[in-house]
């Protein structure tokens, strides 16, 4: 058969080089990754055979074989699972179809430059490059595969140096085998002898004991077993292996979620998480749930320590694995958890579902809906416990997953209070520490009725906003909301524990106490009369842009600010809707003037003295544009603003 040679995709080539140059210190994990891929292939074949009666395959002895050849220095991991077509080999092995690749490589380089080994390994884990890990220990990798139901097989070979070859194979067995031509043993570089049976047993036991399919290793010839016995800790194992006549099964195949907590170590739970998620990091939190009664199921869920690169992308694969009586049914089962918990990984094993249940049936199944509700509440209660008992872990969780969790405030009314209860926010109370809404309420000043917040692109932008001036002057705390989702959920959540949530950039603000109001009433009325003509005049001049011009009670330093009416959509939210393809009518906003600012009082006097002066109209225009810029808004005519400002500056020279 003719052999074709291809070049790796640029990103794939870069990743291969990173692997080859030992970016990951624990090279043993290459075998875990190959076994995990083989296990997935067996799951897929059993599922395919269950759903497609026309698929003529034998599923009576699905298993994984590991073969080591000491003299040839090769290691082969073989499965009789679903296999791959030629097109799938090219797509899955030769390229990396992930839109986060560029960002991943950039962050990886930064972590390497900073010599941050933990970050480097964490990034690799987020990306999930399991197959490429083979090149840490091998100078050549050969993959032979045939997809179930097809007659033609495919052989893929590469030395990891930039190219790979593909050829058709007529007599390939069903499934996939990966053969590694191992590099020489090198203890300094942590390259072990991966043909040694004791080492293979150790790796499988540590990383893959829970795999539900048998992982077998051929019995060793007597001479090999004797050699293997050179390792003192494994002499007895080597003797036993020498006597064996049948292939040895290396894993216990016990489902961890079905075993009691005291029978399973944290390390075993962590390895199951890594197998499910293809993450190389330990999870942040492990959640166990066992439900009995009319509907029985077991769940073992994990909260990762890092957010995946593609969590906010449309094609992100969410959902957890569904088993029925220990039989794998479905990967990425979306019906078991709401979208705002899409970062959760894990397994649910139900006792009473059908083995051929489909995704469509799951959406309507009453038992699935009950599990959905229970699992969501369990995850939220775990986050609550984390916040109260493990502040450091909660801080990591909120940094990684806070923005996605807050999406639940828009979609999960039943759990809205629970989500608010575990949410944290930046505030003016502390420059570093986050606060909860309950802590905010406990600190509210006497007479304060509302929880004040402001949304914006960054903490610095909000703190420098003119809208903050009166709140800063009176020492009133303001929540600083900078995630894009904050623009949306604050519209849907009117109150917390009877306290209204109020934007300091919308509506009118009155922060005076009853005594202060009584003292200021006469002064306010006098000031309103003093500036009435100016307000009317500016409304006429700026009517194209604003619906009202009024005196402000929120400004102490700036001359003016722009605010939205109480029930209007903010400009940031309008932009967000437009970015999603939804057309939103533009609402005119309100210009507020600071009656104590010299620019405003000066304009008032000048307008009374020189009513027909065109320059005053330009001054009004500049005041409005400066207010827009101060809040981070966009000018309708930046060139005109620059010209007017340049003219004014020129006159001062």
**Can you say which residues are annotated as belonging to the binding site for ATP?**
33, 37, 79, 84, 99-100, 126-131, 176, 359
- Strand 495-496 vs strand 479-481: parallel, antiparallel, or unpaired? unpaired
Q: Which residues pair with 451 in a beta bridge?
A: 501
Residue bearing tokens 């509302």: 450
Known binding-site residues equal 33, 37, 79, 84, 99-100, 126-131, 176, 359
Half-sphere exposure of 461 (CA within 13 A, CB side): 14
Q: How far apart are CA 479 and CA 437, in angstroms?
A: 9
Q: Which residues, in sequence order, are CB contacts of 582 under 8 Å at separation 6+? A: none
Q: Which residues, in sequence order, are CB contacts of 427 under 8 Å at separation 6+? A: 434, 435, 440, 477, 478, 479, 480
Phi, psi of 512 (to 5 degrees): -75, 145
Closest CA to 502 of 552, 554, 458: 554
CA dihedral 430, 433, 437, 443 (to 10 degrees): -40
For CA atoms 555, 560, 561, 567, the dihedral sign is positive
Sheet holding 64-69, edge to edge: 3-7, 163-169, 153-158, 138-146, 175-182, 74-79, 64-69, 215-217, 248-249
Residue bearing tokens 């990951």: 24
- Strand 450-455 vs strand 499-503: parallel, antiparallel, or unpaired? parallel
Q: How far apart are CA 172 and CA 77, in angstroms?
A: 15
Instruction: Provide the phi-psi class of 523: left if phi over 0, else alpha when psi is between -120 and 50, else beta.
Output: alpha
Per DSSP, helices labelled H in 390-468 are 391-405, 408-411, 416-422, 437-443, 459-463
Task: Look up residue 499 and give its two tokens.
Answer: 């306290």
């Amino acid at each position: 058969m003719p052999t074709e040679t291809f070049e790796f995709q640029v990103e794939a080539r870069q990743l291969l080089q990173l692997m080859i140059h030992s970016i990951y210190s624990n090279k043993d994990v290459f075998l875990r990754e190959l076994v995990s891929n083989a296990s997935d292939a067996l799951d897929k074949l059993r599922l395919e055979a269950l759903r497609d009666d026309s698929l003529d395959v034998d599923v009576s002895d699905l298993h994984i074989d590991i073969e080591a050849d000491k003299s040839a220095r090769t290691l082969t991991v073989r499965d009789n699972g679903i296999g791959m077509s030629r097109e799938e080999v090219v797509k899955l092995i030769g390229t990396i179809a992930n839109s986060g690749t560029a960002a991943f490589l950039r962050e990886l380089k930064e972590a390497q430059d900073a010599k941050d080994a933990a970050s480097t390994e964490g990034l690799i884990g987020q990306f999930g490059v399991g197959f490429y890990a083979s090149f840490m220990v091998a100078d050549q990798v050969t993959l032979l595969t045939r997809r179930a139901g097809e007659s033609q097989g495919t052989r893929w070979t590469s030395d990891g140096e930039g190219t790979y070859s593909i050829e058709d194979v007529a007599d390939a067995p069903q499934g996939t085998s990966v053969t590694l031509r191992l590099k020489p043993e090198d203890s300094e570089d942590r390259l072990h002898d991966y043909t040694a049976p004791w080492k293979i047993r150790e790796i499988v036991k540590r990383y893959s004991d829970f795999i539900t399919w048998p992982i077998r290793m051929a019995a060793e010839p007597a001479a090999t077993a004797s050699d293997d016995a050179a390792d003192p800790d494994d002499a007895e194992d080597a003797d036993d292996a020498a006597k064996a006549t049948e292939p040895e099964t290396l894993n216990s195949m016990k489902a961890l979620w079905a075993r009691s907590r005291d029978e399973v170590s944290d390390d075993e739970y962590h390895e199951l998480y890594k197998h499910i998620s293809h993450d190389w990091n330990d999870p942040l939190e492990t959640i166990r749930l066992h439900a009995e009664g009319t509907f029985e199921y077991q769940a073992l869920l994990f909260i990762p320590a890092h957010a995946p690169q593609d969590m906010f992308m449309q094609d992100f694969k969410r959902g957890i694995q569904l088993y029925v009586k220990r039989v794998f049914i479905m990967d990425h089962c979306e019906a078991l958890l709401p979208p705002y918990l899409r970062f959760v990984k894990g397994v649910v094993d139900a006792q009473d579902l059908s083995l051929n249940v489909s995704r469509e049936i799951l959406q309507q199944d009453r038992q699935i809906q009950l599990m959905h509700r229970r699992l969501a509440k369990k995850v939220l209660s775990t986050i609550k416990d984390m916040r109260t008992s493990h502040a450091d872990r909660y801080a990591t969780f909120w940094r990684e997953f806070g923005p996605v969790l807050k999406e639940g405030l828009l979609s999960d009314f039943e759990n809205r209070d629970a989500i608010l209860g575990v949410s944290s926010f930046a505030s003016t109370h502390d420059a570093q520490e986050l606060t909860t809404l309950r802590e905010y309420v406990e600190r509210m000043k006497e007479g304060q009725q509302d929880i004040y917040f402001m949304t914006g692109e960054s903490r610095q932008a909000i703190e420098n906003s003119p809208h903050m001036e009166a709140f800063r002057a009176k020492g009133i705390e303001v929540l600083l909301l900078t995630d894009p989702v904050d623009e949306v959920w604050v519209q849907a959540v009117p109150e917390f524990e009877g306290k209204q949530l109020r934007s300091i950039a919308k509506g009118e603000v009155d922060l005076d106490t009853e005594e202060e109001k009584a003292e200021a009433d006469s002064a306010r009325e006098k000031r309103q009369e003093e500036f009435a003509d100016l307000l009317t005049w500016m409304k006429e001049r700026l009517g194209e842009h604003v619906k009202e011009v009024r005196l402000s009670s929120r400004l102490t330093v700036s001359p003016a600010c722009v605010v939205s009416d109480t029930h209007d959509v903010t400009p940031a939210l309008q932009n967000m809707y437009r970015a999603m393809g939804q057309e939103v009518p533009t609402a005119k906003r309100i210009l507020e003037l600071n009656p104590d600012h010299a620019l405003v009082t000066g304009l008032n006097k000048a307008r009374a003295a020189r009513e027909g002066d065109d320059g005053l109209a330009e001054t009004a225009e500049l005041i409005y544009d400066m207010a827009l810029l101060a809040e981070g808004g966009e000018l309708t005519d930046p060139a005109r603003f620059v010209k007017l400002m340049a003219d004014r500056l020129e006159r001062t020279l």
